Amino acid sequence: MASTPARFKVMLTAGAEQDLEAIHDYIAEFDCVANADCVLDQLLEAVESLSRLPERGSYPKELIALGIREYRQTSFKPYRVIYRVIGNQVVIYLVADGRRDMQSVLARRLLGA
């Protein structure tokens, strides 16, 4: 069975790139580099899978509560990837540990609060 060809171009914002780097650094420091590499690979795989079916992601409940439906999310537990589909592009805005206060994280990153 052939894989579905990519229809969308996936782009990481500078903030999302920094998020991935910070996650990797944290795991490497408090666990080991091999586990940090593994988590980073799986997060990048989750991000890249959005090139095929970005609409499958759910709306973040924290944003729905504010009436905002332009962002979606996918996850690699416990990490959440927040993105937006713009034309034929998927723009990744945030990669964060979902156990954090996501309301505050989303407000700062996406709403500039």
Low-confidence stretches of the chain (pLDDT beneath 70): 1-6, 113
Q: What is the pLDDT of residue 109?
A: 86
Q: What is the pLDDT of residue 1?
A: 47
**C-alpha angle 98-100-67 in degrees, rounded to nearest 5:** 70
Q: What is the pLDDT of residue 108?
A: 87
Q: Would residue 21 be called left, alpha or beta, if left means φ above 0 and alpha means ψ between -120 and 50 degrees?
A: alpha
Q: What is the DSSP letter of 109?
A: H
Q: What is the pLDDT of residue 107?
A: 85
**pLDDT above 70: percentage of residues in the chain:** 94
Q: What is the pLDDT of residue 63?
A: 92
Sequence-distant contacts of 97-106: CB under 8 A, at least 24 apart: 97/23, 102/60, 102/62, 103/62, 106/60, 106/62, 106/63, 106/82
9 - beta bridge partners?
89
pTM of this prediction? 0.89
